[in-house]
Amino acid sequence: MTSSLQALFTAIQQAKDEQDLRSQVVPKIGEYFAAKRRGIFFFDQLPLADRNLQKTLQVGLSTKHNPVVRYLVERHAPVHEALVVSPKVWTMICPRLDHWHVMVGPIVSDGQLIGVVGCTREQSMFAFDTQNLADLSAICLHLSVWAATVRLRSVSVEVQQHDQSDRLTPREWQIAELVALGRTNAEIGKELWITENSVKQALKRIFRKLEVSSRVQMVALLFATKP
């Protein structure tokens, strides 16, 4: 793999707009996952005026017809086709040879699914695995933060951000920084030599101090304006 997770996080943070995201980040995602095809899609930017595309989306991206999409919508968690359906069933849903293996992850803002990031591989390539899902989860967190940040740029919140972030203890900052790297509560606990429950309680305190309700909102608030 020619790209690293940290390089991907940096590229996402530096993207100024969706064009930057697609030109600078999407190729790195393709390299990282050795994907035949890859892309980032925001639902409100899809050209739905195209009737053929509308029909494709209604079938291929519907929760009724596509179990991968249903999993994504219900759980807001990355998924690959083998996690929810057999190879035989998947080929009936999507017969394209370059979509033999598919992995998608959610881009979430304010608790709503606003977009997806997806990768595909051909039949001759290795299937996506649990490590790929874990890595995509971290990438999705940063993409969700990016999306939330872009939507907040028109609002002057820098003073509020600094006032609220100054309330955090050094330990709470450590935990927040590890969340931004995509670590789970269990991984954070292991790294900081504290229990998983201690991590959960610390996150509750952080959420209360920052007046946020999710990990994505927390990361966006604390790190969006950092150089």
pTM of structure = 0.66
Domain ranges of the chain: 5-152, 158-223
DSSP conformation class of 18? H
pLDDT in tens, 37-92: 999 988 776 654 444 444 444 445 566 778 888 888 888 899 999 998 888 888 88
3-state per-residue secondary structure call for 97-128: HHHCEEEEEEEEECCEEEEEEEEEECCCCCCC
Whether 149 and 188 have beta carbons less than 8 Å apart is answered as no
Query: Which CATH number is associated with domain 158-223?
Result: 1.10.10.10
Closest CA to 114 of 155, 72, 83: 72
Query: Which CATH number is associated with domain 5-152?
Result: 3.30.450.40
Distance of CA 161 to CAs 87, 168, 224, Å?
48, 12, 9
